[in-house]
Amino acid sequence: MKKSFFLVEDHSLMRQGVISYLCEKSNYECVGCSADTKGFLDFMAQAENSQGGSPQTKNEDSEAAKIPDVLITDLNLDGENDAGISLIRACHEKFPQIKIIVYSMYSSPSFVNSAIEAGAMGYVTKLSDESELRKAIESVMTGTLYVEPSLAKSLVSFEHSLSKFTKREISIIQLVMQKYTNPEIAEKLGLNKRTVENNISRIYTKIGLNSREELLGYWKEEEEFRRVTSKF
């Protein structure tokens, strides 16, 4: 019996390309796709209802009701950078049996780290060869974390750099990297604006930076990771 995947991707051509490639080059079938988080959550609600329904209902709508083995999702959905992270977290909490893979243009280790913390088991960029996505599926289905090799070194450097920060500072850094303003960060973390500003000042001090722009560039490229973290 074939394993299955569901794809959440807001670009129609990308959806078609990914589905065609995986259905042709792997032993996986696509049970559904959506351009946004709501489409996936609605599909899963239908799948749950079908599984809990009568045998006749299951037979008539078995394909639509099938819960996927793998969820492949972009991060930038619904016009928000963190919509994909929220989807990953919601899926992981409600359907822990589903393996989640991120397929995104974002290569920053802050995004990779956030996705993994939320529950993703795989991370592949859209600039990589299509075969990386197939490798990621094969890996996560065995219970093994898969991060695209070109990102792996940067992720290790990122995690090493993060070791000098508190948990709150890490949360703030991740939101800064996602271009949130201080008031938005305060609202998301349930803090007052002054606390956020003080934490950001401490972050600057710890890594010798002076501005938000410098912080955004600190982990932007793999070369920058190696240059900065080599000092520690």
Tell me the per-residue pLDDT of 172-209, one tens digit each, with 9 for 90 and over: 888 888 789 999 999 999 999 999 999 999 988 887 77
pLDDT digits (tens, 9 = 90+) for 149-174: 888 766 666 666 667 788 898 888 88
Q: What is the predicted pLDDT for the residue at 222?
A: 36
Contact predicate 154/113, CB 8 Å: no
CA atoms of 192 and 187, how far apart (whole Å):
8
CA pseudo-torsion sign 27, 32, 36, 38 = negative
Alpha carbon distance 73, 124 (integer Å): 10
User: Running DSSP on this structure, what letter comes out for residue 232?
Assistant: -
Which has the minimum average pLDDT: 86-95, 204-213, 220-229?
220-229
* Mean pLDDT, rounded, for 128-142: 93
Cβ neighbors of 123 (< 8 A, separation 6 or more) are: 101, 102, 104, 112, 115, 116, 136, 146, 147, 148, 151
Confidence of residue 49 (pLDDT cuts 50, 70, 90): confident
- Check: CB of residue 46 under 8 Å from CB of residue 64: yes
Average per-residue pLDDT for the chain? 83
133-146 per-residue burial string, b: 16 or more CB within 10 A, e: under 16: bbbbbbbbbeeeeb
Q: Do 169 and 203 touch, CB atoms closer than 8 A? A: yes
How confident is the model over 103-130, as a mean pLDDT?
89
Under the banding of pLDDT at 50, 70 and 90, the label for residue 109 is confident
Q: Specify which residues 28 forms β-bridges with.
A: 3
User: Strand locations in the chain, DSSP E?
Assistant: 3-8, 28-34, 70-73, 99-104, 122-125, 146-147
Mean pLDDT for the stretch of residues 110-123: 89
User: Given this model, what pLDDT does residue 74 score?
Assistant: 95
As a whole-number percent, the residues of the chain with pLDDT over 70 amount to 83
